């Protein structure tokens, strides 16, 4: 037990006290994790993940360690980052739309973008998923929905990594595109129907509740693990603040959303990946950022540290 240095004296578990405060243990290389109260996980547990770039790191680590990570559409380039060809999903709106189209309730007015010069067909709702024709796009998407549904209906653990709060939203039907990027945008496609804005706490929480509701209807035994990605924004579309402040706002908002979301549901847990990268590793005297052009990412040492603690946190042991 740890003790306070005030009157009256309080006793705490080690994970309740700031490392190194007063006479309490210093940072020792292992994050002081609170007890995990979800179902036990072993090598037979069917695990899926979706979300921002960090979802890819989780996928790679679990597959490397021999766990039952669910993989569908393995030949599809958009499946590199998740359990199906969802691509990277940076915001909770895009994640909620995945659940909606998987179970038949997402019908945007604009379903496909067609690049003005090359005629390339692009999916606005997944990050740069491209096709040669509308027929090819529709056929592949029909197959994708089957695969997506198979993942979400069979997963025992679903890991959701939350990335940012900046969105581009259709002014007419409210759908949210993944990013203003790809051949449609580069070739001068009509973007006037989309507006940039910063999403806020209430609507991000509503998206998470929507995800929980849909998953509960189709796979009520699935346990959700939520984490906030430690990867920062590389640029902001905001004109009222700098990129570091914008990134901090995104992470802080989503951390608050995750806290409330977890408190509402017994089948949801939180994993502090962002806290490990942004606070604990620097306390250890370690540099956390990647070198080179993508220095807004965390480095491999930090990823390894997070994943080691991830495996420890959720009692992941081989059977």
* Cross-strand partners of 50: 160
Share of the chain above pLDDT 90, in %: 76
The residues near 157 (Cβ < 8 Å, ≥ 6 apart) are 38, 39, 41, 45, 46, 47, 48, 222, 223, 224, 225, 314
Alpha carbons 259 and 266: distance in angstroms, whole number: 13
Name the band, by pLDDT with cuts 50, 70 and 90, for residue 22: confident
Higher pLDDT, 17 or 192: 192
Phi, psi of 12 (to 5 degrees): -130, 160
State the pLDDT at residue 23.
77
Token pair in block for residue 102: 């998987």
pTM reported for the whole predicted model = 0.93
Average pLDDT over residues 202-210: 98
Name the band, by pLDDT with cuts 50, 70 and 90, for residue 7: low
State the pLDDT at residue 311.
85
Alpha carbons 95 and 50: distance in angstroms, whole number: 8
State the pLDDT at residue 319.
44
Alpha carbons 302 and 289: distance in angstroms, whole number: 8
Q: Residue for token digits 């995945």?
A: 98
State the pLDDT at residue 316.
62
∠ CA 312-318-319, nearest 5°, is: 135
Whether pLDDT at 288 is above 60: yes
- Flag the least confident range among 57-61, 115-119, 169-173: 57-61
List, for residues 231-257, the tens digit of each pLDDT value: 999 999 999 999 999 999 999 999 999
List, for residues 172-182, the tens digit of each pLDDT value: 999 999 899 99
- Mean pLDDT score across all residues of the chain: 93
In the chain, what are the domain boundaries? 35-313
Phi, psi of 309 (to 5 degrees): -75, -30
Higher pLDDT, 7 or 197: 197
Alpha carbons 215 and 51: distance in angstroms, whole number: 16
Higher pLDDT, 15 or 148: 148
Q: Residue for token digits 């198979």?
A: 150
Whether pLDDT at 6 is above 70: no
Residues 206 and 212 sit within 8 Å (Cβ to Cβ): no
Name the band, by pLDDT with cuts 50, 70 and 90, for residue 301: very high
Average pLDDT over residues 139-156: 98
Whether pLDDT at 25 is above 60: yes
Alpha carbons 122 and 174: distance in angstroms, whole number: 19
Q: Which CATH number is associated with domain 35-313?
A: 3.40.50.1110
List, for residues 216-234, the tens digit of each pLDDT value: 999 999 999 999 999 999 9
For residue 17, cis peptide bond before it (omega within 30 degrees of 0): no
Name the band, by pLDDT with cuts 50, 70 and 90, for residue 211: very high
Residues 268 and 39 sit within 8 Å (Cβ to Cβ): no
Whether pLDDT at 8 is above 80: no
Alpha carbons 179 and 282: distance in angstroms, whole number: 31
State the pLDDT at residue 186.
97
State the pLDDT at residue 3.
61
Alpha carbons 132 and 114: distance in angstroms, whole number: 10
């Amino acid at each position: 037990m740890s003790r306070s240095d005030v009157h009256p004296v309080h006793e705490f578990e080690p994970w309740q006290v700031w490392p190194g405060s007063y006479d309490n243990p210093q940072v020792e290389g292992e994050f002081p994790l609170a007890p995990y109260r979800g179902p036990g996980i072993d090598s037979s547990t069917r695990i899926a993940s979706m979300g921002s770039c960090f979802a890819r790191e989780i996928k790679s680590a679990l597959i490397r360690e021999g766990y039952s990570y669910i993989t569908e559409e393995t030949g599809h380039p958009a499946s590199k980052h998740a359990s199906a060809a969802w691509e990277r999903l940076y915001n909770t709106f895009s994640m909620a739309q995945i659940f909606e189209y998987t179970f038949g309730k997402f019908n945007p007015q604009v379903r496909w973008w067609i690049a003005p010069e090359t005629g390339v067909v692009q999916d606005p709702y997944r990050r740069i998923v491209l096709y040669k024709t509308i027929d090819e796009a529709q056929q592949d998407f029909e197959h994708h929905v089957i695969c997506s549904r198979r993942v979400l209906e069979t997963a025992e653990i679903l890991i959701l990594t939350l990335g940012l709060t900046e969105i581009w939203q259709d002014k007419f039907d409210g759908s949210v595109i993944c990013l203003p990027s790809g051949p449609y945008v580069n070739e001068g496609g009509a973007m006037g129907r989309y507006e940039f804005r910063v999403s806020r706490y209430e609507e991000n929480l509503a998206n998470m509740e929507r995800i929980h509701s849909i998953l509960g209807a189709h796979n009520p035994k699935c346990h959700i693990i939520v984490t906030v990605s430690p990867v920062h924004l590389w640029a902001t579309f905001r004109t009222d603040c700098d990129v570091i402040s914008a990134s901090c706002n995104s992470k802080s908002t989503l951390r608050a959303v995750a806290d409330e979301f977890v408190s509402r549901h017994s089948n949801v847990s939180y994993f502090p990946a962002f806290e490990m990268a942004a606070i604990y590793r620097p306390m250890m005297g370690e540099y956390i950022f990647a070198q080179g052009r993508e220095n807004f990412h965390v480095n491999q040492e930090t990823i390894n540290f997070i994943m080691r603690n991830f495996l420890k946190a959720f009692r992941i042991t081989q059977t």
